[in-house]
Every structure is written in C-alpha cells, then in structure tokens.
Amino acid sequence: MKKVNTLLGVAAVICFNASAVHAQHSVSLAAVVERIENPLLSNVSPGGVTLMRVIPNYAFETQGDRARSRLSLGAVLERSSNTLLVASRNFPSLGYTWAYSWPTADIELRANLAESATRNTQFAELGRITVDSRERSVVTGVLWNQELTARTRLTLDVANTRVSYDTASLEGYRELEMSSRFSWEATERAVYFFEPGYARLTASGTGAISTQARWVVGTRGVLTPDVSLTAFAGQARTQGSQISTGNLGALLLTFSGNRLSSGVEWSRDVAAASGSASGFLESETLGLSLGYRLMEGATVSASMTSSRSSGNEEGRGNVSSLTLENQLGASWSSTLGVEDRKFRGAFGPSGRGWAVRAGLVYAYPGR
C-alpha cells in the first residue's frame, strides 16, 4: 500500500503541475452480474457461484505542445455468493504515463500497478488452471523512439516487472525486459522490422535466475483497404536449470467492413511462467473472432481462443464466447454474454465450466 500511495503522490504532483494546454477528465462506472458454473474447472463440479462486480474508473489527461500525461485510477469490487469457491476481493489499478516529443524523437515513462484473479490470468495467458488467488503486478518502464531517416525508425524499450501472489503455493518473480526494434517503411502500406531482446527472470522464493535472448523479424502491412496483416518469426534461447532453444512466431489477419469484422490470430512465444519456479515456458495461442453490427449502436460478436503451455505444467485451455453490446445513449451502454471454458491437462485434472454475464456501463468523457 505504501508503494501505491507513493506512486499516486508522484503522479498527481507531476500531472497537476504540468503546463498543460488542454486537460480532460473522464469517468466510467460498470455494474456486472456473472453466474459461473465450476469456476475452477474441476473434474467433478462443486457447484456454481454468482459474482457481483462494480468497476469504477477515472482518468485525467493533459496535452501540451510537446508533453502529454495520463493518470488513471480504477478498481474491480467483487463480491461472491460462495466464498469457498471464489473469494470476495477488491482489485485496484493505478497507472501513470508521461511523454515528451521532439521533431524526430519522443520518450515515454510509464508506471502501472494492477491486481487481478489468478483463475483468469493464468488461464488466458498459459491455458492452465490454478488456485483462486490474488495476483499483483507492478510495472515501470521507459520507451524511446528515434526517427533515423524518413523511412526508418529505432525503438528502445526497457521494463521492470514485479509479480506477487497472496497464496504460498504460487511463487512470485521479478523480470527485467529489454528490447529494441529497427523498422523500415518500404512503402506506404508495408513496414518491415527486426527486433532483438533480452529478459532476466528472478524467482522471489528460491532466488533462481533464468535468462532469455531472443530475436524476431517480421512485417506489418495493409493488403486491401479492409484487410491488414502482421506476421513475424524468430527464436528464443533460454538459460536456467537447463538450456533450450524455442521457435517464435505470430500471425494476425484482420478484416473490417461496414458491418462485418473478423480476425485470426496465432502466436508461439516463450514467456515468464507466473506462479511457478519453472522460469520461462513455451506457450501457443490461437484465436478467432467475428463481429457483426446489427444496427447503429448494437453489435454481436463471437470469439474462440485456445491457449497451450508446455513443460511440466502442460495443459490446454479453450474459451468460447458470444456477446451482445448495445449503445443505449450518449453515456450508457449494456453488455450481455455467455462463455464456455474447457481445460485439458496432460498430467493433471481436466474440467469444463460456463458463465453468463450481464452488465451496464456509464461512461462520461468530461472536460
């Protein structure tokens, strides 16, 4: 809590003392009711739970001739009807970004604190289930962009992440990431890039250290006015208790029409294994999405995502969802959705659950 108060104080001082030409406040408030059956995806379902969530968010932005800043405060206030399955918790979030621009360069400083439930983060990132716990992440970083020529650009990014849990069975870690990107704009519709990087991961409990060196080369471009493509491939070499080399790759193809939109995304990565002493783990994700605008302000969307992690904790998680979003007015909107989750473990349990949620959102971009 002391770190949160310090970060908030520094952000407020910088934000309100900036010589801003333009300042804007924005507020949003969401209320969500969610019914989840078998939330931890057990072999035999222990029953269901109803979650009540209130999600307030506030943002203050300033924009000057060269400098800009953004302070955001938010929280997820969650209450459970069955605390034996899912605990009642509050998940705060705090973020601050300050940026300054020159004619051919810009710098961005950022700091973020966020808390979330491990039952969601672990499943989404690595396709595995875990105990119901609180995950806290604190991220600080700096980003530098430099225009080398009219068609080439160099980007340097450094981030320091600290992750902790309130459950002894999950081990926190610290990760230092450094990456650079050299990009070349071949045409107005095609950009090529080369991105080397380095990461160092230190487990909190054991102090074990793992390192990773990686590189990728790829392209980003517009195929037609409605279709865009991003793709890259590369390798990562990980060194810890063992030395291994893994392949990296990603493909994102999107279509955006007048009413119909769709996307296909596939990626293979080597990322930090949250909550375990395994260091870096290989993960693979495949996602499909489809959206259709029924009328002005009303959109129905469907998505399917499959995530898989390898190693000693190998497993595959699948999520399918259907959502209806409706704009009720200038500041009000509603959401209604259903979701199906499946988990298939290579060396452990497998299970399936589903959820139904309804929400009402108020958003006011004030001045």
Structural domain boundaries in the chain: 2-364
> Kind and range of the H or E element at 360?
strand 350-364
What is the model's pLDDT at position 39?
82
The residue among 97, 79, 92 whose CA lies nearest residue 135 is 92
* Span of 77-86, 213-222, 227-236, 344-353 with lowest mean pLDDT: 344-353
Helices within the chain (DSSP H only) = 2-17, 118-126
What is the C-alpha separation between 238 and 315, in angstroms, rounded?
21
* Span of 196-200, 201-205, 275-279 with lowest mean pLDDT: 275-279
Pairing of strands 190-203, 209-224: antiparallel
Return the bridge partners of 267, or none. 250, 285
The residue among 26, 43, 38, 53 whose CA lies nearest residue 85 is 38
What is the C-alpha separation between 203 and 243, in angstroms, rounded?
17
Return the bridge partners of 315, or none. 309, 345
Residue 131 has pLDDT above 70, yes or no: yes
Counting residues of the chain whose pLDDT is more than 90, the rounded percentage is: 60
* Section 136-165 average pLDDT: 96
Return the bridge partners of 33, or none. 52, 358
Q: From residue 350, how far is each of 40, 76, 118, 129, 228 by CA, in Å?
A: 10, 29, 17, 9, 37
* Span of 42-51, 150-159, 171-180, 292-301 with lowest mean pLDDT: 42-51
What is the C-alpha separation between 340 and 318, in angstroms, rounded?
8
What is the C-alpha separation between 288 and 278, in angstroms, rounded?
29
Structure tokens at 250: 């990603």
Q: How many helices (H) and strands (E) does the chain have?
A: 2, 18
* Section 238-256 average pLDDT: 89
Is residue 241 helix, strand or coil?
A: coil
Return the bridge partners of 94, or none. 73, 113
What is the model's pLDDT at position 128?
60
What is the C-alpha separation between 365 and 25, in angstroms, rounded?
6
- pLDDT band, very low/low/confident/very high, at 282 (cuts 50, 70, 90): confident
What is the model's pLDDT at position 16?
46
Q: From residue 242, how far is each of 214, 234, 236, 237, 320 by CA, in Å?
A: 16, 20, 14, 11, 36
What is the model's pLDDT at position 167?
82
* Span of 260-269, 271-280, 291-300 with lowest mean pLDDT: 271-280
Structure tokens at 302: 């469907």
Cβ-contact 219, 232 below 8 angstroms: yes
Counting residues of the chain whose pLDDT is more than 70, the rounded percentage is: 87
- Annotate 321-338 with DSSP letters as a single string: EEEEEEE-SSSEEEEEEE
What is the model's pLDDT at position 13?
47
* Section 64-89 average pLDDT: 93
* Section 54-71 average pLDDT: 95
What is the C-alpha separation between 60 and 72, in angstroms, rounded?
6
Cβ-contact 50, 39 below 8 angstroms: no
* Section 20-30 average pLDDT: 87
- pLDDT band, very low/low/confident/very high, at 17 (cuts 50, 70, 90): very low
Structure tokens at 44: 């035999």
- pLDDT band, very low/low/confident/very high, at 18 (cuts 50, 70, 90): very low
- pLDDT band, very low/low/confident/very high, at 46 (cuts 50, 70, 90): confident
Cβ-contact 52, 36 below 8 angstroms: no
* Section 156-162 average pLDDT: 96
Average pLDDT of the chain, as a whole number: 87
Please provide residue 122's backbone torsions phi and psi, each rounded to the nearest 5 degrees.
-65, -40
What is the model's pLDDT at position 278?
56
Question: For 303-325, how does the pLDDT look when each residue is reduced to its tens digit (9 = 90+)?
Answer: 999 988 776 566 788 899 999 99
* Span of 37-41, 61-65, 356-360 with lowest mean pLDDT: 37-41
How many residues in total does the chain contain?
Answer: 367
The residue among 177, 207, 200 whose CA lies nearest residue 277 is 207
What lies within 8 Å, CB to CB, of 294 at 6+ separation is: 300
Q: Beta-strand (E) ranges in 240-279?
A: 243-256, 260-272
Return the bridge partners of 318, or none. 306, 342
Residue 68 has pLDDT above 50, yes or no: yes
* Section 43-61 average pLDDT: 91
What is the model's pLDDT at position 74?
97
* Section 8-29 average pLDDT: 65
Give the amino acid at 134: R
What is the model's pLDDT at position 209?
87
Our measurement of the distance from residue 261's CA atom to the centroid of its chain's CA atoms, rounded to an integer in Å, reads 21
Domain 2-364 is in which class? Answer: mainly beta
Structure tokens at 59: 């943002």
- pLDDT band, very low/low/confident/very high, at 5 (cuts 50, 70, 90): low
